[in-house]
């Protein structure tokens, strides 16, 4: 039985669905999907079209909004919205260090997780759509990895789509993970340079913290081994609209005096562990690189291998000179599975996924070239997480897709921009602008 309840200005309904783990074996094992239906309180009795929201990630459940902030308020003016917890995330059947041993050993866990990419998510959406809309196509809003899923949707089941709206999530159709990261490291370096230009005092602060970590073994309160590489990975926040300010505030009070000399403060460590821990979203670490796998080439810890091609990111070398320490961005590395207690039991599983050579293609260029679904995309200029050149190349490959290229927002523009981003994209899809 579905449960409905109210928040300010909205009525929410919990929805649960059973779908096959492997859609090619529909009579086999099943998993559960959770989604939250949202409708404006004054429209609850109206017949409205549906908008499905696909969250970024991979590995994150849908936003837990209170009321109708951000883009949601704009959507609720004319849609019922379904906030889907993609398989393995949120309140859907979980996949983490506690539950995956139920599958068996690392090999069985890796085989299970091979069913958690965009292709399976799209088939989940098509499986539940008739139960939600009565069979009518719906509008899909895909943010970041949700945009990757939306392009896969256009490739495999465009009949299910009324309109495709993508924000910061046009993937390359054919790039290997190595290509993705070779394009990423120079973008990350530009974001770091922009941060230091805004906050020049952070150059010395970051060098001091990195030097401390090279000389001391630091274990955070949750058991996370806080290495200099882990510190550098905090640069992932620089791709969001307020990320540079967040990083600055984090760095400014890192040390406190103690009888044994300066030490990283408890307050600093508490904030750091919240940013670094994958306890709440382990799937992100496990399948982040596999979302780029499409052929017989393994991803093989691509971000770690490609990083070696950019020696300026080597912390020890930076500290040996007088240059700034470079932070890194949205990437997953094997050392994370040694540092993070939420990931340590899954290291062998992650290694097997990195070695996998049987990833099926995620996108169909021929079908995209014949696309008839109204499709629009916000492409954020110099997006730290998704390469702009890759996105624009894909945009040209999807028939009829219109792009809005902007430097007004960072990757989280659909959140930070309130209703404006979605409002503009819907107007573009309807040829109103």
Strands 10-20, 3-7: parallel, antiparallel or unpaired by DSSP?
Answer: antiparallel
Q: What would the pLDDT profile of 341-389 be if each residue is shown by its tens digit?
A: 999 999 999 999 999 999 999 999 999 999 999 999 999 999 999 999 9
Extract the tokens encoding 358. 């049987």
Measured in residues, the chain has a length of 433
Measured torsion, CA atoms of residues 159, 165, 169, 173, in degrees rounded to the nearest 10: 30
What is the C-alpha to C-alpha distance for residues 355 and 108, in angstroms, rounded to an integer? 14
What mean pLDDT is reported for the chain? Answer: 97
Neighbours of 248 (CB within 10 A): 15
- Percentage above 70 pLDDT, the chain: 100
* Close Cβ partners of 96 (under 8 Å, ≥ 6 residues apart): 279, 282, 283, 342
Residue pair 163/429 in contact (Cβ under 8 Å)? The answer is yes
Instruction: Place 52 in a pLDDT band, splitting at 50, 70 and 90.
Output: very high
Tokens 């780029």 belong to 292
Neighbours of 143 (CB within 10 A): 29
CATH architecture of the region 3-173+363-429 = 3-Layer(aba) Sandwich (3.40)
* Cα atoms in the 13 Å half-sphere on the side-chain side of 100: 26
Q: What was the pLDDT predicted at 54?
A: 98
Domain positions in the chain are: 3-173+363-429, 177-355
Neighbours of 220 (CB within 10 A): 22
Q: What would the pLDDT profile of 176-201 be if each residue is shown by its tens digit?
A: 999 999 999 999 999 999 999 999 99
Provide the CA 410 distance to its chain's centre, in angstroms.
14
The catalytically annotated residue of 144, 172, 277, 391 is 144
Beta strands in 63-110 (DSSP E): 80-85
Q: What was the pLDDT predicted at 121?
A: 98
Residue pair 367/361 in contact (Cβ under 8 Å)? The answer is no
Judge whether 391 counts as a catalytic residue. Answer: no
Judge whether 358 counts as a catalytic residue. Answer: yes
Please state whether the predicted TM-score (pTM) of the whole model is above 0.75. Answer: yes
Beta strands in 22-160 (DSSP E): 30-40, 50-54, 80-85, 138-143
Q: What was the pLDDT predicted at 3?
A: 86
Strands 50-54, 80-85: parallel, antiparallel or unpaired by DSSP?
Answer: parallel
Starting at the earlier edge strand, list the strands of the sheet with 80-85: 3-7, 10-20, 30-40, 80-85, 50-54, 138-143, 161-167, 375-380, 402-406
Instruction: Place 1 in a pLDDT band, splitting at 50, 70 and 90.
Output: low
C-alpha angle 72-399-136 in degrees, rounded to nearest 5: 50
Strands 138-143, 161-167: parallel, antiparallel or unpaired by DSSP?
Answer: parallel
**Is pLDDT of 2 > 80?**
no
The catalytically annotated residue of 331, 383, 411, 412 is 411
Residue pair 153/171 in contact (Cβ under 8 Å)? The answer is no
**Is pLDDT of 296 > 90?**
no
Judge whether 245 counts as a catalytic residue. Answer: no
* Close Cβ partners of 261 (under 8 Å, ≥ 6 residues apart): none
Q: What was the pLDDT predicted at 270?
A: 98
Q: What would the pLDDT profile of 98-137 be if each residue is shown by its tens digit?
A: 999 999 999 999 999 999 999 999 999 999 999 999 999 9
User: Which candidate, 118, 43, 119, places its Cα nearest to that of 81?
Assistant: 43
């Amino acid at each position: 039985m579905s449960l409905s309840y109210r928040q300010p200005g909205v009525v929410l309904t919990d929805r649960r669905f059973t779908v096959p783990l492997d859609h090619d074996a529909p009579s086999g094992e099943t998993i559960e999907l959770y989604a939250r239906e949202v409708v404006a309180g004054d429209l609850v009795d109206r017949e409205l079209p549906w908008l499905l929201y696909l969250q970024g990630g991979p590995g994150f459940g849908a936003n837990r909004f209170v009321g109708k902030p951000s883009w949601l308020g704009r959507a609720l003016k004319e849609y019922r919205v379904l906030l889907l917890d993609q398989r393995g995330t949120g309140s859907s059947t979980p996949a983490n260090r506690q539950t995956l041993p139920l599958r068996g050993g690392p090999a069985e866990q890796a085989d299970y997780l091979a069913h958690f990419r965009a292709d399976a998510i799209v088939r989940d959406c098509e499986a539940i759509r008739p139960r939600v809309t009565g069979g009518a196509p719906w509008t899909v809003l895909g943010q970041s990895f949700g945009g990757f899923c939306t392009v896969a949707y256009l490739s495999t089941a465009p009949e299910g789509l009324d309109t495709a709206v993508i924000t910061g999530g046009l993937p390359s159709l054919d790039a290997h993970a190595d290509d993705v990261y070779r394009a990423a490291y120079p973008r990350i370096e530009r974001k770091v340079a922009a941060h230091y230009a805004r906050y020049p005092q952070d150059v010395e602060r970051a060098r001091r913290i990195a030097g401390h970590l090279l000389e001391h073994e630091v274990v955070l309160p949750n058991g996370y081994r806080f290495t200099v590489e882990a510190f550098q990975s905090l640069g992932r926040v620089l791709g969001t609209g307020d990320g540079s300010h967040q990083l600055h505030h984090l760095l400014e009070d890192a040390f406190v005096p103690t009888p044994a000399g300066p030490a990283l403060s408890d307050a600093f460590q508490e904030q750091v562990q919240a940013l670094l821990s994958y306890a709440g979203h382990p799937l992100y670490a496990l399948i982040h690189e596999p979302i780029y796998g499409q052929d017989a080439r393994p991803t093989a810890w691509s971000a770690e291998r490609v990083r070696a091609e950019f020696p300026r990111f080597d912390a020890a070398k930076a500290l040996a000179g007088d240059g700034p320490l470079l932070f890194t961005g949205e990437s997953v590395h094997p050392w994370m599975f040694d540092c993070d207690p939420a990931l340590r039991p899954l290291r062998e599983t992650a290694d097997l996924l990195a070695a996998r050579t049987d990833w099926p293609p995620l996108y169909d260029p021929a079908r995209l070239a014949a696309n008839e679904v109204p499709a629009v995309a916000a492409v954020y200029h110099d997006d730290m997480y998704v390469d702009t050149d890759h996105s624009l190349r894909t945009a040209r490959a999807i028939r009829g897709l219109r792009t809005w290229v902007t430097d007004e927002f960072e990757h989280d523009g659909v959140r930070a921009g309130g209703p404006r981003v979605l409002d503009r994209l819907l107007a573009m899809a309807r040829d109103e602008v």
